[in-house]
Structure formats: C-alpha cells, structure tokens
Amino acid sequence: MISIAVAGGTGLAGSAVVRECLRRGLETRVLSRHSPGAETPAYVEGASYVQVDILSGHGLEDALVGADVVIDTLNGQSRAARAVLTLGAGNLLRAAAAAGVRRATLLSIVNVDRSAFSYYRAKAEQETAYAGSALESVTVRSTQFHDLVAGMFASGRRLGIVPVFRGTSFQSISTADVARLLVDAATGPVQGTHSGFAVGGPKVQSMRELANEWRAATGSAGRVVEMPLPGAFGRFLREGLNLVPEAAAGRETFSEWLRRVRP
C-alpha cells in the first residue's frame, strides 16, 4: 500500500487531501504543528497525526520514515509566517530525500510566478525549491478555491456590503476537486523528474455573477459594491492571470459548492 505524508494536512486544502487519500485506501499521515481534536473539522478518522515544525525541523525526519510520497499543502499567509513556504520547502524536501521518500507533490497557484504580490513571490520560491529538489516532483497549480471567493464576499458583512473587485473574474474550484487532482498527481505516472500542470474550476465567472450567487445562497442582504483592488494582486486578477479555461478539471461549480457547504 502506498504511504502518503500530507504536510499541512490539518489545513483547508490539506484536510481535503487527507480525506481523498483515505477514500482511496492509502495509508495517510499528517504533518503539522498541532494535532486536531477528534471533534474538529480538520480531524479525519483513519489518518495518523504527527507533530512537526517545518521551520525548526522538530520531528521532521522521523515523521517521514516509510512514506512513499509527500504532498505539500503547507501555508504561511502572514509576512512573518511566509518562511513556511520558502525555508519550509527546503527543510521538507531535504528531510524527505534523507528518509527515502520517492516523490514530492506541491500544491501551488496558477501563474504564481507572474506577479510581484509578496505572498506569490514566496510561493514562486517554493516552486523553485521543488523544481530543483533531489526528489521526483510534481507541482499542481490550482486556481483560487471557492472558499477564498466566498471569504471575500463575507468580509463585507459588517459594512452591509458584498465587495466586488472591478474588472475581475474567477475560475474557482472546490478543495475536494483540488484534492482529487493532487492525489492523482501524487500517485499516478509522472511526466519527467520535475513536472507540473494547472487545474481550474469548471467555469469562468465574473466576480459580480459569483457575488449574486453567494447572496442568493447565503440570504445576505448586503449591497453589491464594485470597488478597485489596487496593488499587484489586483493587477494579476484584472489581467486574468488567475484563469486557465483550457484546464477546467474541477467538477463542482461555485453554486453547487454553496449548496453543499452552506458557508
């Protein structure tokens, strides 16, 4: 049986990956700093949880012994935590090579190397670490998750508005679809020592259309307000660099996801 180590497997994408691995009957261990309580949504019955700090390296080598494949769904959103993506990638890949892991699979973001947005710069550095690693590697670049889009709409709640960034569209994808595609990449045939591909949601939709679907599904009375999104991320979105219509591998649309998860 293939043994999978999911680094960051208690997170949003990571816990979906853990569920998908277990659904396929794979032996699954989760590497993160905190082990989730059995009553929390991050906990998936059947997985084993190992406490590891990717930055200090605490617990890392032991946690990887016997694993065939590592799937990296780690995250560090804040400026202070970003080293998880950069230094963390180096630490994880070195420890995986030392433990005899065969393949490393990274979850990244579509066109992440084409923006000056500082979080994206850290993600691009993470990708570079994978492309230069001693292990066989596959990088799966996803579009934005449905959760991220819904979170942007929910952020206007206190002001009674539903923010819509002018001139932007999304091809958002469910983390369940991302998990399926990531586990396919982690366990299927590879296209070379270091390979990668993009995956997107089933539909490209304007942010306004998505906002209307979100309002209908959540019963929000918030007023849809168009606003500019300044900065590098805004430019990235207006240029449509977040879209990969030719790689619409996700199945669940935003409106189907809204009906299922009721955010």
Intra-chain end-to-end CA distance of the chain, in Å: 36
Return phi, psi of residue 55, to 5°: -85, -50
Structure tokens at 99: 């433990």
Q: Please, which residue, 119 or 156, has the CB nearer to ligand NAP?
A: 119
Name the residue among 134, 129, 145 with its Cα closest to residue 182. Answer: 145
Query: Roughly what angle, to the nearest 10 degrees, separates helices 87-99 and 118-131?
Result: 20
Q: Does 94 bind ligand NAP (CB under 6 A)?
A: no
Q: Does 54 bind ligand NAP (CB under 6 A)?
A: yes
C-alpha distance from residue 222 to each of 163, 215, 227, 263 (Å) = 9, 8, 15, 15
Q: Please, which residue, 43 or 217, has the CB nearer to ligand NAP?
A: 43
Separation of alpha carbons 4 and 30, rounded Å: 9
Q: Please, which residue, 1 or 138, has the CB nearer to ligand NAP?
A: 138
Q: Which of 49, 117, 130, 145 lies at the binding interface for ligand NAP (CB under 6 A)?
A: 145
Separation of alpha carbons 203 and 6, rounded Å: 28
Q: Which of 4, 10, 20, 156 lies at the binding interface for ligand NAP (CB under 6 A)?
A: 10
What is the x/- site pattern for ligand NAP, positions 175-214, by CB under 6 A? ----------------------------------------
Q: Which stretch binds ligand NAP (CB under 6 A): 5-13, 157-165, 188-196, 221-229?
A: 5-13
Residue numbers at the binding site for ligand NAP (CB under 6 A): 8, 10-14, 32-34, 52-55, 73-76, 84, 107, 109, 123, 142, 144-145, 148
